[in-house]
Amino acid sequence: MPKTEVFDKYYKDYDSWFFKHELAYKAEINLIKRLIPKGKGMEVGVGTGKFAIPFGIKDGVEPSDKMGEIAEEKGIRVVKGVAEYLPYNDNIFDFVLLVTTICFVDDPLKTLKEARRVIKPDGYIIIGFVDRESMIGQEYEKYKDKSKFYSPAIFYSSKQIEDFLEKSGFIQIESYQTLFHPLNKIKEIEPVTKGYGKGAFIGMRGKKRSGLAKLSHLHKIEKEEKIDNNVLADQF
């Protein structure tokens, strides 16, 4: 089930985080800006539009009625739905954006495969997330039961997200990072650097593998997974 209850209940408090941590939010925007391509985009988990609007994204999927209503008031075409079952036809977007959404979905792999379905050949997926292994990620994980929004979240490491992208049929994966200090210690807009492993907020972009190359890549993954399963079976 989508983890929407907290967002319907505390939707008025959602935007307050971005005002309280304005410098962190601006750093996140600067990071995502490096990964957004030209063309028609859609955001999965569009929320109130805090990331869609700066990049001119006019379409979004949102399971929370309250959050979706706010995004619609800001001019976004919001369709109610969940990440694993996107209510769109195949191959219609140049890119799909997910920001702090992957930690709330029920099935990350299915989510990314579904995103790939609606992305045009050679289009892109962009994922923004908090790295579980970062200082902020560990803090979120430690105190998430006391958090209004993160209590139902499952945080992932950058390596896990990278693996999810590869298994979902994306190639040419590139990463950027920002937020190198605890949120309460950030006194200026923090820089954006390539890679991951130091910053808390990570942005990853993958290109949709198309045509025969995509099929070959997915067959290779399926074969590797089958081998891994056979190896596990031999151990028991």
CA 200/CA 104 separation, integer angstroms: 17
Name the 3-class secondary structure at 152: coil
pLDDT tens for 57-95 read 999 999 999 999 999 999 999 999 999 999 999 999 999
What's the pLDDT at 226? 53
Let me know if 193 is exposed, middle or buried by CB neighbors in 10 A (0-12, 13-18, 19+): middle
Amino acid present at 186: I
pLDDT tens for 196-205 read 999 999 999 9
Domain boundaries, the chain: 5-209
Q: Does the pLDDT at position 50 exceed 50?
A: yes
Contacts of 114 (CB under 8 A, 6+ apart): 83, 84, 85, 86
Let me know if 16 is exposed, middle or buried by CB neighbors in 10 A (0-12, 13-18, 19+): exposed
Residue among 51, 86, 66 nearest 7 (CA): 66
Q: Does the pLDDT at position 54 exceed 80?
A: yes
Q: How far apart are the first and last CA of the chain?
A: 33
Sign for the CA dihedral angle at 119, 154, 33, 16 comes to: positive
Of 142 and 12, more confident: 142
Report pTM.
0.86
Rg (CA), the chain: 18
Quote the tokens at residue 227: 């081998």
Output b/e per residue, 120-156; b: 16+ Cβ within 10 A.
beebbbbbbbbbbbbbbbeebbeebeeeebbebbebb
What's the fold here for domain 5-209?
A: Rossmann fold (3.40.50)
Quote the tokens at residue 15: 């935007």
What's the pLDDT at 146? 81
